[in-house]
Structure 1
C-alpha cells in the first residue's frame, strides 16, 4: 500500500503525523509526505521522505489573498471570525499546493491520502485521484469552526470537482482523549497521541531533576522579540511571577532567543530542547494553548497552566481545565500576577496531579498508531 501524508503550516503539523507514518512504514508500506518547503527540515528530522508543495512561506498566505491584496488578521475578533480567517489562509495554501501534488501523484500514485486537521489539499487531491482520504487530527483543538473558511476560499477548486463543499473524510482519526471531546463532535476513530519532535544531543539536566520544583514555560516556536513580541513579554513576565515558588524554571524557545531570555530573566535555562524528554521531569507546564504542547503535557500526566494566545484556542484549554488537569486563564490575561497565582494554585493542589495522571492513563488506553495500520489498509482495498 502507498500512503501519501499531506500537511503544512508549522513544524508541529509534521510531527503530529509522523507516528502514524512511521507505523505504516514499519509495517512494510510505502509512505511519502508533502508539505510546504519551510517544513522540509522537519520532515528530515522525522526521517520521512518528503516533497515540497510550495516555496511560499506561511506568512504569505496569512497576510495576503490570491491577488496579493493585504488581509489584516482579526486579532481582537471572536472565535467565528478567527476561524474563518484561519480556514481561508489554509485554503490559499492548499490551492497553491495542488499543482505540485497532482504532478507528483501522476508519477507516484497513492492508494490513500492522509491529511492533517486543516490540510485542505488532501481531500481535493484524493477526489481528483479517486482514492480514499483520511483526516488525522493534529491535536485536541476542535477545528469545525475553521472549515467553513476553507469552503469559501476554495470555491474555484471545488467547482472543478463538481463540489460545493470539501468532502468529508472516509476516516477521521482523532487524538483528542474521549473525555475532552466536545459533545457534538463528529464520530471518529480514536488514536493515541504520541509525542514527536526534533531531537538533539541530550544533557543530564534534560532528563533528570534536582531537589527543587521544576516548571517548564513555553510560548511555542514562533516567538520573537519583534513580530511576536507579546509572546516574549509573556515569557519574561511569567518568570518574574514564578519567583515566589523558588522553582527551577525552564523556558522552551527558539535558540536565537536564548541569550535575550537569560539576560531578561536571570537564573533560568532557556533555548530549544526536546519537550518529550523534559516534560516527564516537570511539575507544571505553562504555555499559550498550543495543541501539541497541551497534548504533550496530557501524555505525561503533567498539570498545566494555560493562557490561550487566541480565542480559537480557548475552548480546548477550558475543556482541559474543566476536567481538572489545568488552570486556564482568559485569552491574553495580563492582570498583575494572574499567571503566577494560577501556577501557585496548580502546584499546591494535589487534585491537578491526580486528574492529569487520570488523563494520561486514558490516553495510554487509546489504540496506538500501529493499531491503526489495518484501518488504512482496509480503506485502500475496499
Structure 2
C-alpha cells in the first residue's frame, strides 16, 4: 500500500506524524511525507521520503493573502481561530498542484493529513481514496476549520463541494482526560516522543544534585535577551537550568553565562531526568513532558491560535502544570510560576497520572491496522 502523509511548515508537525508513518514503513508499506520545503531535512532525518509542496516561506501565508496583500493578525480568540484556518487554507491551496503532480507518478492508496493540513481532504477527494486526519499534538482545532473552508471556497467549488470532506477516520493523540468536552469521536493513539537526536552526554541520563529545569522554545528557539532573563530568574531558585535550543542561539547564551548547559538537547533524552519543563506552548513539547510525567509551564507567545491556550489550560486545570498568557510573558512571572510548580509535589503526581493513562492508549502499529482495513474496503 502507498500512504501519503501531509505535515506542515514546522518540525513539530513532522515529529507528530512520524510514529504512524514509521509504523507503516516498518510494516512494508511505501510512505512519502509531503510538507513545505523548509522542513524536508527534518523529514529526511526521520528516515522518511520527503516531498515538497511549496518553496514559499511559511510566514508568507500567515502575513499575506493570496494576492500578496498584508493581513492583520486578530487579537481575540474567536477571530484568531478563523485566522489560523485561513492561512493554513492558503498553504493548502498552494500545495495542490505539486500534490496532484506527485499523484500522477505515485498514486497513494490512502492520505493521512495532520491536524491543519487542508490539502489532504481535497487531494483524497480528488483521487477517490480514503482520508485520515491525525492530530499532531493535543491542541484543539475547534473553530479553526471554518476559516479554512472560507479561504478554500474556490477549490471546493471546483470539486463541487460546499465544505471540506470529513475524514473516514480521526486519529487523536490527546490523552482522554485532556480531550475537549465537545471533541469529535476519534481513534486514540499513544503519543511517541520524536525529535532529532545527538549523542547524549552522561549528565543527560542521570539526575544531578539539584532539581533540573529544562527551558526550551522548540526547534525555533527563543529571543536571546528574553531567554537570558528567564534563565536568570529560574536559576535564582537554586535549580540546574538546562536550555534546549538551536546551536546558534545556544552558543551565544553559553558565551554569556559560563558553565550553562545549552544546545540541541533531545527532549526525550533529558525529560526523564528533569523536574520541570518550561516551553513556548509547543504541542509536541507539551505531550513529551506528559509522556514522561514531568510538570510543565507553558508560555504563550501570541493569541492568533487560541486553540493552543485552550488545550494547555486543560493541563493546568488537571493540575499537571501552569499556563501563562501572552501578557504574562515576563521573566519575573515565569520565575514565580516555576517556584510555585517546584514547590508543589502534586503537580508531579498529576503529570504522572496522565503519563500512566497515555501508556494504555493503542500504539501506532495497532492504529495502522485500521488504516489497512480502511484502504482495503475502498480498493
Q: What interval of TM-score do these two structures reach, taking the shorter chain for normalisation?
A: over 0.9
Instruction: Tell me the distance in 1 between the aligned counterparts of 2:126 and 2:185.
Output: 25
Residue 372 of structure 1 corresponds to: 367
Q: CA deviation at 1:233?
A: 4.1
Residue 71 of structure 1 corresponds to: 71
Residue 190 of structure 1 corresponds to: 188
Residue 348 of structure 1 corresponds to: 343
Could you tell which deviates more after superposition, 297-306 or 308-317? Answer: 308-317
In angstroms, what is the RMSD of aligned CA positions?
A: 1.5
Q: Contact (CA 8 Å) 2:300, 2:329: kept in 1 or not?
A: no
Instruction: Tell me the distance in 2 between the aligned counterparts of 1:43 and 1:124.
Output: 22
Residue 324 of structure 2 corresponds to: 329
Q: Contact (CA 8 Å) 2:229, 2:331: kept in 1 or not?
A: no
SS at match of 2:4: strand
Could you tell which deviates more after superposition, 206-215 or 358-367? Answer: 206-215
Residue 300 of structure 1 corresponds to: 292
Q: CA deviation at 1:12?
A: 0.8
Residue 114 of structure 1 corresponds to: 112
Residue 32 of structure 1 corresponds to: 32
Structure 1 length-normalised TM: 0.94
Q: CA deviation at 1:335?
A: 5.6
Count of residues paired in the alignment? 374
Q: CA deviation at 1:265?
A: 4.4
SS at match of 1:134: strand
Could you tell which deviates more after superposition, 261-270 or 77-86? Answer: 261-270
Instruction: Tell me the distance in 2 between the aligned counterparts of 1:367 and 1:137.
Output: 15
Q: Contact (CA 8 Å) 1:240, 1:265: kept in 2 or not?
A: no
Q: Which runs of 5+ in 2 are unaligned?
A: none
Alignment match of 2:102 (pick from 84, 104, 114): 104
Could you tell which deviates more after superposition, 21-30 or 306-315? Answer: 306-315
SS at match of 2:221: coil
Q: For residues 148 and 233 of structure 1, do their structure 2 counterparts lie closer, same or farther at Cα, with a shift above 3 Å needed?
A: farther
Q: CA deviation at 1:340?
A: 1.4
Instruction: Tell me the distance in 2 between the aligned counterparts of 1:332 and 1:221.
Output: 23
Counting only pairs closer than 5 Å after superposition, residues 5-24 of structure 1 correspond to structure 2 as 5-24=5-24
Q: For residues 152 and 52 of structure 1, do their structure 2 counterparts lie closer, same or farther at Cα, with a shift above 3 Å needed?
A: same
Q: For residues 48 and 83 of structure 1, do their structure 2 counterparts lie closer, same or farther at Cα, with a shift above 3 Å needed?
A: same
Q: Which runs of 5+ in 1 are unaligned?
A: none
Q: Contact (CA 8 Å) 2:124, 2:130: kept in 1 or not?
A: yes
